[in-house]
Structure 1
Amino acid sequence: MNASDVALVQDSFRKVAPISDVAAELFYGRLFEVAPQVKPMFRGDMREQGRKLMATLGVVVTGLTRLETVLPAASALAKQHVAYGVKAEHYPIVGGALLWTLEKGLGDAWTPELAAAWTAAYGTLSGYMISEAYGTAQAAE
């Protein structure tokens, strides 16, 4: 990820933030559509879960300029997700649902360049989280 990618991701997230409740609803709807097997991992109030998702995304997106500031929290989150039943193979599914959500939420502002920037950002973070939770061998798969 380069500085231009970071700027694109941060700028686009500022456009999504005002519709964060809708974005979270779109995200989980898409996730459960493409991977219904993960739905039992989510218990409780999905609106609250959506707020947590969007808040976490906000912290990560803001921290992209200084990635080392978000990595400790990302490591802890990855390890916590193992207890919920999350496996390394779920990360690409979640990434696909996230990109789909961003495309829907941003409409015409979603460009191939922006898609590539978000893909790079998600790949960087998810690769790190997978290696923290399951070891570096699974992160490479």
Structure 2
Amino acid sequence: MDDKTITLVQDSFAQVVPIKDTAAEIFYADLFETAPHVQPYFANANMAEQGSKLMMTLGIVVNGLRNLPAIVPVAQDLAVKHVDYGVKAEDYAAVGASLLRTLEKGLGDGFTPEVKDAWITAYTTLSGVMIDAAYGTEAAQ
């Protein structure tokens, strides 16, 4: 990831932070509507707490993009833990799509094609590493 991509992701995420609770609600509503098969993963979850965890984790990852060697092992560990919840490699695409739609709704006109491309690059990079850690190299391709 180049510096411009990282800056676009970090600057746009900074605009989401003030509406983080709403953004989490939008994200999970979109995810459950567009990928209802993932809803059982959250059957026992307090969704307000889950939303807080999501936004906190996103914040850590986004703020750490300039130091990928520190962030990658954390993302890999998270991915391996998610296997125990039943998460499948193909679920990452649904999560990424819901994340993009959430950012589009939350940022409005600030979600420019350039910002969208930056998020796609960041998400593709990290999800590829996560899928590889949890399911192997073939699943990440």
The equivalent residue for 2:84 is 83
The equivalent residue for 2:6 is 6
1-side partners of 2:69 and 2:99: how far apart?
23
How much does 1:16 deviate? Answer: 0.1
1-side partners of 2:22 and 2:104: how far apart?
13
Once the two structures are superposed, residues 92-138 of structure 1 have per-residue CA deviations (whole angstroms, 9 ceiling, x without a partner) of 10000000000000001010000000000000000000000000011
TM-score between both structures, scaled by the size of structure 1 = 0.98
> Tell me, which stretches of 5 or more residues in structure 2 are unaligned?
none
The equivalent residue for 1:15 is 15
Alignment of 1:110-125 (within 5 A): 110-125=111-126
* Cα-Cα RMSD: 0.5
**Would you say how many aligned residue pairs link Structure 1 and Structure 2?**
140
Q: Percent identity?
A: 59
How much does 1:72 deviate? Answer: 1.2
Query: What's the secondary structure of 2:45's corresponding residue?
Result: coil
Query: What's the secondary structure of 1:88's corresponding residue?
Result: coil
How much does 1:71 deviate? Answer: 1.0
Once the two structures are superposed, residues 5-51 of structure 1 have per-residue CA deviations (whole angstroms, 9 ceiling, x without a partner) of 00000000000001000000000000000011110100221000000
1-side partners of 2:12 and 2:64: how far apart?
15
2-side partners of 1:63 and 1:124: how far apart?
13
The equivalent residue for 1:32 is 32
How much does 1:52 deviate? Answer: 0.1
2:129 counterpart letter in structure 1: Y
1-side partners of 2:60 and 2:69: how far apart?
12
